[in-house]
Amino acid sequence: MNRKKNMLELEERLEQLNPVEGLTLLADLFSGKVVFSTSLGQEDQVITQMIASQNLPIRIFSFDTGRLFPETLDLLARTESKYKTKIQVYYPNTSAVENWVQEHGINGFYESVENRKSCCYVRKVEPLKRALAGNEVWVTGLRAEQSPNRSAMKRIEWDEANQILKYNPLLDWTYEQMIQYLNENNIPYNPLHDRGFISIGCAPCTRALLPGEDARAGRWWWEESKKECGLHSR
């Protein structure tokens, strides 16, 4: 069977399953080849809890870009402690960061969209490619209502840039559903969320939301763009 037919069949199966069941199915079908990338956001904390509570054989990884909030790094440690699990941390290539800063300055990402995207590439996209290498399924915490760019995504889709299946188990969850699950399961989360930070990335590139703004408005707030870093480009 060709990949398109396989994808349709897999998509149909996953549509009938809740997130835990979907994660379990993929971990069984692609044994040892399923990984989950967490940025320690609320959605990702939900999925981490699902994986850990069911002891699923899915490797969890994250990125330390070198510009994260202290609260994010603290949450990483608290999450590992609570769930007795290890989150593999990937770092950007030292020489690449040094070269970027030498060329653009420490905060050169403010100067243009191109500079910002190249900084994201060095600090996140390249490490992601290393983290995904050799695997077959990439689990993410994307939700359709987060942004217009994500509303067209499917529960499972082929990520051409990384040549891997991408599974979005919380795609159709609302913000309210997510918060309810966090509270009901006593899941640790970043205290910055309580201060108006909804989508949290690098500290210099993230601010709290203003009244009426959408969830991604606080990311790269100084520019007009699709508010993506390249990890989930379409």
The tokens for 32 are: 């040892």
Q: Given a cut of 50, is residue 1 above it in pLDDT?
A: no
| Domain span at 69 | 3-205
Local structure of residue 203 (DSSP, 8 states): G
Q: Is residue 163 part of a domain?
A: yes
pTM: 0.91
Q: What total of structural domains would you count in the chain?
A: 1
Q: Given a cut of 80, is residue 150 above it in pLDDT?
A: no
Cα–Cα–Cα angle for 196, 197, 202, nearest 5°? 155
Q: Is residue 24 part of a domain?
A: yes
Q: Is residue 160 part of a domain?
A: yes
Q: Is 205 a catalytic residue?
A: no
pLDDT tens string 190-217: 999 999 999 999 999 999 998 888 888 8
pLDDT tens string 77-124: 999 999 999 999 999 999 999 999 999 999 999 999 999 999 999 999
* Residue 170 near residue 202, CB atoms below 8 Å: no
Q: What is the reported pLDDT for 231?
A: 67
* Residue 61 near residue 131, CB atoms below 8 Å: yes
Q: What is the reported pLDDT for 232?
A: 58
